[in-house]
Structure 1
Amino acid sequence: MTHTARRIGRSLALVLPVVLVLSGTLAVTMVPWADNSSQILTASAEDVSVPKKPAAPQDLLRDKLLGELQQGEQPGAVLTHLQQEVNGRPSLAEHCVSIARALGRAAVEAYGPTKAQSYARPVCDTSYATGVASMG
């Protein structure tokens, strides 16, 4: 019987502080001494700082290339940059199709379907043209 009591005691010793901290932290929703015009202090589980997961290389590349298009870079030059990146980092090859399609869609938004199609070339097969066609 004392062995069971010790086990329960150890479990409570580990769990109880965590429960008390979380319940105390999550219970605070508004401080009564703050007037309505001042900032209200709140606490919730969503406010806990969690390290941000680093973006995947293909997401970084897609965002970079879409940014180039948005800054006025010609789609042909952006497609060349995509091909260079894929050639330099073969691990990106499996994502080339989705990136090229995204570039095609963005080019249609920037240049219209006819002009965007004029930049099509065989980067990642015909994925850029597919992206253009899906928007046009």
Structure 2
Amino acid sequence: MNQALRHIGRTLAIALPVILVLSGTLAVSRVAWVAPSDDQVLTAAAEHQPQAPEAALTDRLLLTLRQEDPSAALTALQEAVTRDPSLAPHCAEIARTLGEAAVDKYGSTRRAQQHSRPVCDTSFAAGVAAAG
């Protein structure tokens, strides 16, 4: 029994330093030894910047259009502009984008045009026409 414990102790005495050296070498090889370049820092910072309100609204409305229909998205656009008048300068561009997305969803300008209404003048219809 005593001899078996000595054998285990010798094995560990030899194997353990080898394991520690190898694991330390692997850990060191994964460290980024070079500081990130300015481009990488700028890219990382840009990824974490908050989205502009009009861009966030556009994304939300495009999701509504895809999940429901263009009428629901146009209604939500009108309500958003009424709640926050600072979005009014972006209304026409957003409605045009919704018109283009409606053509993408339905595959025809005729079917997309059925949802047209005078939100932000005729921008939705202009988007449908541009996509067709």
Seen in structure 2, the aligned counterparts of structure 1 residues 40 and 87 have a Cα distance that, compared at 3 Å, is same
Give ranges in structure 2 of 5+ residues lacking alignment.
1-24
Who is 1:56 aligned against?
52
CA distance in 2 between partners of 1:60 and 1:47 (Å):
24
| Separation in structure 2 between the aligned mates of residue 117 and residue 41 of structure 1, nearest angstrom | 57
Q: Work out the CA distance in 1 between the residues paired with 2:98 and 2:70.
A: 8
TM-score normalised by the chain length of structure 2 = 0.68
Paired residue type of 2:71:
G
Aligned to 1:19: none
Whether 2:39 is the aligned partner of 1:44: answer no
**Residue 44 of structure 1, CA deviation:** 2.0
Using the TM superposition, give the Cα deviation of residue 84 of structure 1 relative to its aligned residue in structure 2, in angstroms.
0.5
**CA pair 119-40 structure 1, distance change in 2 beyond 3 A:** same
Q: What root-mean-square deviation, in Å, do the aligned CA atoms of Structure 1 and Structure 2 show?
A: 2.2
Identity fraction in percent: 48
Displacement over 6 Å in runs of 4+: none
Higher Cα radius of gyration: 2
Counterparts of 1:41 and 1:126, CA distance in 2 = 56
Deviation, 1:68, is: 1.0
Q: For 1:92, which of 83, 87, 90 is the aligned residue?
A: 87
User: Deviation per CA, 1:62-82, whole angstroms, max 9, x where unpaired?
Assistant: 0000011122x1111110110
How far apart are the structure 1 equivalents of 2:69 and 2:92? 19
Name the CA distance, whole Å, in 2 between partners of 1:90 and 1:106: 24
**How does 1:1-136 map onto structure 2 within 5 Å?**
33-34=25-26, 40-42=30-32, 43-45=35-37, 46=40, 50=45, 52-71=48-67, 73-112=68-107, 113-136=109-132
SS class of match (1:50): helix
Cα distance in structure 2, aligned partners of 1:50 and 1:129: 37
Letter in 1 for 2:119: V
Task: Give the aligned partner of residue 14 of structure 1.
Answer: none
- Using the size of structure 1 for normalisation, the TM-score is 0.66
Unaligned runs of 5+ residues in structure 1 are 1-32
